[in-house]
Structure 1
Amino acid sequence: MMYTVQSSGMLLKRFSANYVQNSTRLASFRQCERYGKFHDCRKRISHWLKAQGEQVAQACTKQCEFIIAQRIRRSLQIFHLYTRIWDEVALKEFMKSWRNRALRNSRHFLMSSIGITMYNWDRERITKDELNGYKKEIEGIYRLRDSTVVCAKCQLRIVIDVRQSGIKYCTCTDNKFNATSNQDSEGWKPYIEREDMLIWRREEPNCGGLFAYKVYGSFAEVTAEDFLQAQIDVDYRKEWDPTARELRIIDTDPASQSSADSHSDVIYWETIWPKLFANRDYVYQRDWVVDKERRLIIIISKVTDHPAAPSKPGTYRVTTYWSYMVIRPYTEFHQPGIEFGLTYFDDPGVNIPSAVTAWVAMTGLPNFLIRMREASRNYQNYKIAKQSLDASDTNYVPLKNEDIFEDKVLHGNMQNSERSEILNGKNVEDYNKIEHTEVPQFNEDLKEEEEEEDSTNSSEEGRGLLDYFYLAKLFA
């Protein structure tokens, strides 16, 4: 009604010129507004809201309080439930971890309580079959030499990296060819040649570009006895190797304690590295055996675990390491003149660029072998100075056996013209047969100037970079 009157007034005002807005008509319109259809309803709603507003507010407040209280109560119930569950789980986890720790450290508990070694020698011992597998290592090196560093046409030596005096080299290719590109069926490539030494290397699969090395050497002035002692006498090793921070025997195979021709030990060895690197340490089993019938000494080393040598904080434990060495005298174990073959690999656990690795190997490995040669030559002086000839000295093991080789001493007096030159590439026939022994000839003495230079260099670089990398960690 109200809207109809307003609309009618607007239309009349717009389209009728005679329309006059007098007070009478406007009053009639306003009076109609007061008595509209919805006027009473609106008035009633307004009065109801005024009367019920406080009650509505109180009801809404009570409802919100109820909901909040309900949520808080449920949260507390869930919290207590998870607390009880967590207590049970935590207790179970604690008991489980304690049990695992107790089982894992049971060896240490037993050692501390009753003082015995729990190392399982029956399981970890290097087998005789493995030792016997290296008895033909020298012959294998001869074949490797013939296939990689001997010319197939003229049967003369091929240059590897540096020409050595006293060796006739191949001239078939006008001296423009070297042997570093040659490779045998097992992947060995010639790498370094030094006086009385040949070195091959082979990249090991899945080892990040690291190489295994094979060394052949022939030292005319060193005896097999002294050379062996330089390898196995840990006290002497600490005298001539400045990188050995700690070197000790932590366990010995009970089965080998009564044997004079074989021995098996577990050794702990920590080597000094530069300040930018953590020191490396090794725990490895070392077995050596003397085969007097074949005139061989075999030394095998491989990484192992021992409860007496747990990992130390701040030192990196090398877990990949193995080596084997075969030593054969020209005539007798106590007579000067030996040849040996050494093959080894170890992963020091640090990524070194290949160029740096090659430079270290090219320089450090020959220098280390020279120091080892000098240490073997001076072992008798060390033994006398330390009074190690006493029977209680367990580090020294004499290898003389006159009964076996008495009829073979005459071979040591053969003239030099009758000997074969191993490094010159001449074949050795039936070398392993004692009754047809052929002895290789090398330069008997080093020049005094070279000896002084090598001695000076070794003392100056004793703590240098070359002595720290993995090249000098296998002979302990």
Structure 2
Amino acid sequence: MFRQVITPRRCRPSAAVTLQWRAASSQSRPRPSLNFLTWTNLVKLLTKPCAVALPRLVARQINVYAMKKFRRIEQILIRHYNNFYSERAIQNLASSFQRSNWCRDRRRPFYILFGGACFAWHDDRLSENDFKQCQDDLEGIDFFANTIDTVPDVFNTWETVINRDHLKAWRKQLGNTHLYEYKLFCRFFDISAKDFFQVQWDLDYRRKWDKLAVKLNLVCRESPNSDIIHWVLRYPYPMYNRDYVYHRRYFIDKDKNLIIIFNKSTEHANVPENTNIVRVSNYYSHMIIRPHFSMEENGFDFIMTYHDDPRTNFPPSCINWMSTTGVPDYVEKLHQATLQLSNTSNIVHLSSSDNQQQNHNPGQYST
């Protein structure tokens, strides 16, 4: 009974106040007339923001699309530029030039001239550091001029492989690799330094006495004492043959009575890699020849340092055999070839430009 009497009395005034406030508020707020919401005003109201935003969106979309197109065009141009001026493109150009009918009937020196134009002599020529690497050998050959019973201090870090009266060989591991660098000293009394040099430099004669040379060609020439050589070396079956593309250079120091020959691996557009031959891209050697008296008289010493990477792992027994047996056999081949050359009159004379190098600095090139 208490809830039925009290609750309605408290709720009714509140509901009445709320209804009166809503009526008062609705009566005091003016309502928009229907004449204001015409179709013209409605279209203007809806299209005014779009008229400003829509052109901006279209312009932004066009910029993004154009940017992608220009970026794609730039990538295509860069790719074609790199393909056109790449090493492979130059090799294909040189090969096509060699196979063309226009070059087939021409003489070889013209083709060599074209190859010389494709080779960057200033970028790949022997540097001053290459000449400084033979300083130890210069000290060694000076030391052996007085005695050959002991070893100079500069060779203490080398392992002795051959120790004979007039033939000595050492080796040293090349960095952190499995390869070895070899050093060879030899002394002859019955052949001259000039003839021995010609055996090293004359390609036509080397093709005759070196049976392991499958191919030995002149690629291009910078000067009478600097050129690029392609040499294919025969390897025992079933291994692939190895080929070398190397830059060789020599100079003569009349004051010190020396002949120095440098060989260093390089690349050339006219000699691309062959799938049937393994390219040796890491090859270096230098040889110092010192006559006992003069270049034409018999008797001289020579010392040579060399290393190469045949790109295969030979067993230790094979490496030891090549060091102890292969090196003496190769030296004997050089000896016999020089003896045969000295008995003939077809000796290629040293270039006159080298004979003028009376005061040549060993740390510089001959010209």
Aligned to 1:59: none
Change in 2 beyond 3 A, CA 1:348/1:306: same
Alignment check: 8 A CA contact 1:264 1:285 kept: yes
Aligned to 1:272: 234
Aligned to 2:314: 352
Give the Cα separation in 1 of the matches to 2:205 and 2:81: 44
Give the Cα separation in 2 of the matches to 1:252 and 1:222: 29
Alignment check: 8 A CA contact 2:171 2:181 kept: yes
RMSD value, Cα:
3.6
Give the Cα separation in 1 of the matches to 2:194 and 2:144: 27
Tell me the SS of whatever aligns to 1:107.
helix
Q: Does 1:194 align with 2:156?
A: no
Give the Cα separation in 2 of the matches to 1:99 and 1:375: 50
Per the normalisation by structure 1, the TM-score is 0.50
Change in 2 beyond 3 A, CA 1:245/1:326: same
Give 5+ residue unaligned stretches, structure 2: 1-71, 98-102, 104-110, 359-367
Tell me the SS of whatever aligns to 1:356.
helix
Aligned to 2:192: 223
Aligned to 1:126: 126
Give the Cα separation in 1 of the matches to 2:262 and 2:300: 18
Alignment check: 8 A CA contact 1:148 1:184 kept: no
In the TM superposition, what are the counterparts of 1:274-313 in structure 2 within 5 Å? 274-313=236-275
Change in 2 beyond 3 A, CA 1:130/1:356: closer
Aligned to 1:101: 83
Tell me the SS of whatever aligns to 1:363.
helix
- For residue 282 of structure 1, report the CA deviation from its aligned partner: 0.4
- For residue 221 of structure 1, report the CA deviation from its aligned partner: 0.8
Give the Cα separation in 2 of the matches to 1:351 and 1:133: 27
Aligned to 1:407: none
1:307-345 deviation digits (Å, cap 9, x = unpaired): 111101110000111001000101110110111110111
Match of 1:339 among 291, 295, 301: 301
- For residue 358 of structure 1, report the CA deviation from its aligned partner: 0.5
Give the Cα separation in 2 of the matches to 1:298 and 1:355: 33
Give the Cα separation in 1 of the matches to 2:127 and 2:190: 33
Aligned to 1:245: 214
Alignment check: 8 A CA contact 2:282 2:309 kept: yes
Tell me the SS of whatever aligns to 1:378.
helix
Aligned to 1:370: 332
- For residue 140 of structure 1, report the CA deviation from its aligned partner: 2.6
Change in 2 beyond 3 A, CA 1:278/1:129: closer
Change in 2 beyond 3 A, CA 1:349/1:133: closer
Give the Cα separation in 1 of the matches to 2:147 and 2:181: 19
Tell me the percent identity. 29
Alignment check: 8 A CA contact 1:214 1:344 kept: yes
Match of 1:317 among 279, 290, 294: 279
Structure 1 letter corresponding to 2:174: E
Give 5+ residue unaligned stretches, structure 1: 1-89, 151-156, 158-181, 258-262, 390-394, 405-476
Structure 2 letter corresponding to 1:248: N
Q: Does 1:233 align with 2:202?
A: yes
Alignment check: 8 A CA contact 1:329 1:338 kept: yes
Structure 1 letter corresponding to 2:275: P
Alignment check: 8 A CA contact 1:135 1:296 kept: no
- For residue 207 of structure 1, report the CA deviation from its aligned partner: 2.0
Give the Cα separation in 2 of the matches to 1:148 and 1:292: 24
Change in 2 beyond 3 A, CA 1:288/1:380: same
Give the Cα separation in 2 of the matches to 1:286 and 1:329: 21
- For residue 187 of structure 1, report the CA deviation from its aligned partner: 2.1
Tell me the SS of whatever aligns to 1:126.
coil
Change in 2 beyond 3 A, CA 1:334/1:146: closer
- Structure number with higher strand proportion: 2
Alignment check: 8 A CA contact 2:250 2:262 kept: yes
Alignment check: 8 A CA contact 1:325 1:340 kept: yes
Aligned to 1:205: 175
1:424-468 deviation digits (Å, cap 9, x = unpaired): xxxxxxxxxxxxxxxxxxxxxxxxxxxxxxxxxxxxxxxxxxxxx
How many pairs were matched up? 268
